[in-house]
C-alpha cells in the first residue's frame, strides 16, 4: 500500500514537472527605458541609463525571475543642456558618484517574487559600485512590456557626495540620499 502511494506521488510530481514550461523573455534594450530622477534641496535632475541586457523568466505564464545589466557609462542628464549638462554628466560618472571607469555596470537579480492581484512584489539584489543591497519594488506586467518604480538609497552603495547624512553644513547644496528609477521594459 505504501509503495502505491509513493508511486502515485512520484507520478503526479513528474507529470506536473513535465508540463510546466519555463520561458525566458529577453528584454529589447533599444526600446526599453530606465529613467532616473535625483533630488536636491533646490530642485531635481533627471536622465536615463541604458540597459546592456535583461531577461524576465516565466513559468506557466507566471513571473519567476529576472536579471538585468545596466550600462553605467551611459548615465545621461536629460533636463539640462550645454556646459551644465556636460559638467553634471561628468560628475555623475566620476568617483564622487558612480565611478564608471571602474564600475561600468550595475546589476539587478530578482531573488523573491510574490504575486498580489495583477502586480508582482519583487525583492532583488542590486549591485552598484561592486556593493550589493536588497531592494523591494512593485512590477506591473502587460502584453509585451513591464513597468516598475524603484526608490534607491544611494548611500548604501557608497555614493555619499552631497549627502546631509554624512556631511554637515551643506544647506541648500544638499542632495537627497534617495533617487528614483522609473523603468519600462519591452520584451
- Residues 1-15: what's their mean pLDDT? 47
pLDDT value of residue 10: 43
Contact 67, 55 (CB under 8 A): yes
Cβ atoms within 10 A of the Cβ of 180, count? 16
Cβ atoms within 10 A of the Cβ of 62, count? 12
**Architecture category of domain 26-186 in CATH:** Beta Barrel (2.40)
pLDDT digits (tens, 9 = 90+) for 81-119: 999 999 999 999 999 999 999 999 999 999 999 999 989
pLDDT cut 70: percent of the chain above it: 89
Going by DSSP bridges, is the β-strand pair 175-186/33-40 parallel, antiparallel, or unpaired?
Answer: antiparallel
Give me the residue label for grid cell 553634471. Answer: 88
What's the CA gap between 7 and 3, in Å, rounded? 6
What's the CA gap between 12 and 61, in Å, rounded? 21
Give me the residue label for grid cell 556646459. Answer: 83
pLDDT digits (tens, 9 = 90+) for 144-164: 999 999 999 999 999 999 998
Dihedral of CA 10/12/13/19: which sign? positive
pLDDT digits (tens, 9 = 90+) for 10-38: 444 444 445 568 999 999 999 999 999 99
Domain locations in the chain as residue ranges? 26-186
For residue 97, give the nearest of 78, 73, 117, 116 by alpha carbon: 73
**3-class secondary-structure state, position 99:** coil
The dihedrals phi and psi of 25, each to the nearest 5 degrees, come to: -105, 110
Amino acid at each position: 500500500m505504501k509503495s502505491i502511494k509513493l508511486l502515485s506521488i512520484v507520478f503526479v510530481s513528474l507529470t506536473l514537472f513535465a508540463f510546466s514550461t519555463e520561458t525566458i523573455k529577453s528584454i529589447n534594450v533599444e526600446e526599453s527605458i530606465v529613467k532616473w530622477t535625483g533630488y536636491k534641496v533646490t530642485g531635481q535632475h533627471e536622465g536615463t541609463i541604458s540597459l546592456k541586457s535583461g531577461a524576465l523568466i516565466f513559468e506557466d505564464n507566471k513571473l519567476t525571475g529576472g536579471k538585468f545589466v545596466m550600462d553605467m557609462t551611459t548615465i545621461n542628464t536629460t533636463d539640462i543642456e550645454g556646459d551644465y549638462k556636460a559638467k553634471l554628466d561628468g560628475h555623475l560618472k566620476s568617483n564622487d558618484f558612480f565611478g564608471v571607469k571602474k564600475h561600468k555596470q550595475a546589476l539587478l537579480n530578482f531573488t523573491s517574487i510574490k504575486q498580489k492581484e495583477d502586480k508582482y512584489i519583487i525583492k532583488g539584489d542590486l549591485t552598484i559600485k561592486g556593493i550589493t543591497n536588497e531592494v523591494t519594488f512593485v512590477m506591473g506586467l502587460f502584453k509585451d512590456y513591464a513597468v516598475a518604480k524603484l526608490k534607491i538609497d544611494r548611500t548604501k552603495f557608497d555614493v555619499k557626495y552631497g549627502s546631509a547624512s554624512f556631511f554637515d553644513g551643506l544647506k541648500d547644496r544638499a542632495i537627497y540620499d534617495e533617487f528614483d528609477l522609473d523603468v519600462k521594459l519591452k520584451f
